[in-house]
Structure 1
Amino acid sequence: MNTRDTQPAGSAIVHDEKAKLDFSSDMSYSDYLHLDTLLGSQHPLSPEHNEMLFIVQHQTSELWMKLMLHELKAAMQSLSADRLQPCFKMLARVSKIMEQLVHAWDVLATMTPPEYSALRPYLAQSSGFQSYQYRQIEFSLGNKNAAMLKPHSHRPELLAQVRHAYEAPSLYDQALKALHRQGLAVPDNYLHRDWTQPYIVSAEVEQAWLTVYRDPDQYWDMYQLGEKLTDLEDAFRLWRFRHVTTVERIIGFKRGTGGTSGVSYLRKMLDIVLFPELWRLRTDL
Structure 2
Amino acid sequence: MTTPYDPADDGAQMRFDGRMSYTDYLGLDAILDAQHPLSEAHDELLFIVQHQTSELWMRLALHELAAARTALAEDRFGPAFKMLARVARIFEQLNSAWDVLRTMTPSDYTTFREALGQSSGFQSWQYRLIEFTLGNRNAAMLRPHEHRRDIHEKLSAELARPSLYDTALAALARAGIEIPPEVTARDLARPHEAHPGVIAAWRVVYDDPETHWQLYEMAEKLVDFEDYFRRWRFNHVTTVERVIGFKRGTGGTGGVSYLRRMLEVELFPELWHLRTEL
Number of equivalenced pairs: 278
Q: Could you say which residue in structure 1 is the equivalent of 2:126?
A: 133
Q: Could you say which residue in structure 1 is the equivalent of 2:138?
A: 145
> Structure 2 stretches of 5 or more lacking a match?
none
Q: Could you say which residue in structure 1 is the equivalent of 2:166?
A: 173
Deviations 1:241-283 (A, max 9, x none): 0000000000000000000000000000001111111011111
Counterpart check, 1:34 vs 2:5:
no
What is the root-mean-square deviation in Å for CA atoms of aligned residues? 1.1
d(CA) in 2 for partners of 1:170, 1:134: 15
Q: Of the candidates 79, 89, 113, which is equivalent to residue 96 of structure 1? A: 89
Q: Could you say which residue in structure 2 is the equivalent of 1:249?
A: 242
Deviation at 1:192, TM superposition (A): 2.2
d(CA) in 2 for partners of 1:156, 1:74: 25
Deviations 1:133-192 (A, max 9, x none): 000001111111111100110010111111112222111111110000000011112222
TM-score (norm 2): 0.98
Q: Of the candidates 58, 65, 81, which is equivalent to residue 72 of structure 1? A: 65
Q: Which amino acid aligns with 1:270?
A: L
d(CA) in 1 for partners of 2:105, 2:8: 44
Q: Which amino acid aligns with 1:42?
A: Q
Q: Could you say which residue in structure 2 is the equivalent of 1:268?
A: 261
d(CA) in 2 for partners of 1:66, 1:211: 35
Deviation at 1:200, TM superposition (A): 1.7
Counterpart check, 1:160 vs 2:188:
no
> Structure 1 stretches of 5 or more lacking a match?
none
Q: 5 Å matches for 1:1-285?
A: 11=5, 13-16=7-10, 18-285=11-278
Q: Which amino acid aligns with 2:266?
A: V
d(CA) in 2 for partners of 1:62, 1:200: 28
Alpha-carbon contact 1:136-1:166 (below 8 Å) kept: no
Q: Which amino acid aligns with 1:13?
A: P
Deviation at 1:198, TM superposition (A): 2.1
d(CA) in 1 for partners of 2:55, 2:40: 24
- Structure 2 counterpart SS, 1:160: helix
Deviation at 1:12, TM superposition (A): 5.1
Percent of pairs with identical residues: 59
d(CA) in 1 for partners of 2:3, 2:76: 53
TM-score (norm 1): 0.95
Deviations 1:190-209 (A, max 9, x none): 22221111212111110110
